[in-house]
């Protein structure tokens, strides 16, 4: 897959992986249609893309609103024509064990952003993607393959995303549209600034600094770009992540124990 003069729509493009991916694509000469709720940050990303050599428009979008997602796709098609790729990257997270949750609506909120937002955008983009034989990209997580304590709502949304796009891959086999599911581990992004507590409100406090053991955004985006060019079906980042998938098949209880131990250590370190 070539990137020059191709049009990509990216949700969650105001920060983190989405922002870095947009700028990398701009350096390859791509056209970018950028979506996020933070208009000021989104405009800055668009400006950075222009400086990097690409073309870019910012379309402030709340992906939980189907009409807003339809407007996003229409703006992209109107400005650049055929869509070569849709990158579903918008996301929020949580940090609370299920038995401490007091506001169950946080599960709906996370599901609407992380999962349904991807469903809505994909629905409206699919006709254009079929016409161009384009690429669907879902930025999921290793949490879409394993259970992780304190993140039950986030994990559920990523499992839903994994199942949805795995199904679409099969349904779209004869259309020329490929589906790539990306599963990073810990990446040093600002998603921790959008973490909800058990009461459904942002924690607004720093969690444990995981940056020392997290993949850099730069490394993460480089891997995503390579997988997009190769039109791969799946990208599981880090040797540890790939090993975990195999171990889950032969020793699932041990993987559960190790995951619980790791999260417990993180919580104790953050106190």
Across the range 74-78, mean pLDDT stands at 97
Contact 187, 245 (CB under 8 A): no
Instruction: Tell me whether residue 219 is in a domain.
Output: yes
User: Residue 100: its pLDDT value, please?
Assistant: 95
Instruction: Tell me whether residue 93 is in a domain.
Output: yes
- Residue 217 token pair: 């955004």
User: Residue 269: its pLDDT value, please?
Assistant: 47
Instruction: Tell me whether residue 215 is in a domain.
Output: yes
Residue 154 is a catalytic residue: yes
Catalytic residue among 95, 115, 120, 154: 154
User: Residue 187: its pLDDT value, please?
Assistant: 58
Instruction: Tell me whether residue 247 is in a domain.
Output: no
User: Residue 213: its pLDDT value, please?
Assistant: 61
Instruction: Tell me whether residue 263 is in a domain.
Output: no
User: Residue 263: its pLDDT value, please?
Assistant: 65
Q: Is the pLDDT of residue 1 over 90?
A: no
pLDDT in tens, 175-196: 999 999 999 876 555 556 668 8
- Output the domain CATH number for residue 173: 3.40.50.720
Considering its fold, how many domains does the chain have in total? 1
* Percent of the chain residues topping a pLDDT of 90: 68
Q: Is the pLDDT of residue 270 over 70?
A: no
Instruction: Tell me whether residue 185 is in a domain.
Output: yes
User: Residue 205: its pLDDT value, please?
Assistant: 54
pLDDT in tens, 118-154: 999 999 999 999 999 999 999 999 888 888 888 999 9
Contact 59, 71 (CB under 8 A): yes
Q: Is the pLDDT of residue 255 over 70?
A: no
Contact 182, 235 (CB under 8 A): yes
Instruction: Tell me whether residue 248 is in a domain.
Output: no
* Percent of the chain residues topping a pLDDT of 70: 85
Domain that holds residue 156: 7-239
Instruction: Tell me whether residue 139 is in a domain.
Output: yes
Q: Is the pLDDT of residue 268 over 60?
A: no
């Amino acid at each position: 897959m070539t990137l020059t003069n191709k049009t990509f729509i990216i949700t969650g493009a105001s920060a983190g992986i989405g922002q870095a991916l947009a700028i990398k694509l701009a350096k390859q000469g791509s056209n970018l249609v950028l979506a996020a709720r933070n208009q000021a940050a989104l405009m800055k990303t668009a400006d950075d893309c222009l400086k990097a050599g690409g073309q870019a428009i910012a379309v402030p979008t709340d992906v939980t609103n189907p009409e807003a997602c339809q407007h996003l796709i229409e703006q992209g098609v109107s400005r650049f024509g055929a869509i070569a790729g849709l990158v579903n990257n918008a996301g929020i997270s949580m940090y609370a064990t299920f038995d401490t949750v007091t506001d169950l609506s946080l599960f709906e909120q996370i599901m609407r952003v992380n999962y349904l937002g991807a469903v809505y955008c994909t629905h409206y983009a699919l006709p254009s993607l079929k016409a161009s034989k384009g690429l669907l990209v879902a930025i999921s997580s290793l949490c879409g393959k394993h259970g992780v304590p304190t993140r039950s709502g986030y994990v559920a949304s990523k499992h839903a995303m994994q199942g949805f796009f795995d199904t679409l891959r099969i349904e779209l086999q004869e259309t020329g549209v490929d589906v790539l599911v990306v599963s990073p581990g810990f990446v040093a992004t600002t998603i921790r600034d959008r973490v909800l507590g058990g009461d459904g409100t942002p924690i607004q406090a720093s969690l444990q600094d995981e940056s020392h053991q997290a993949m850099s955004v730069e490394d993460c985006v480089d891997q995503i770009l390579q997988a997009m060019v190769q039109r791969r079906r799946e990208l599981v980042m880090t040797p540890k992540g790939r090993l975990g998938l195999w171990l889950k098949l032969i020793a699932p209880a041990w993987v559960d124990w190790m995951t619980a131990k790791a999260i417990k250590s993180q919580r104790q370190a953050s106190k």
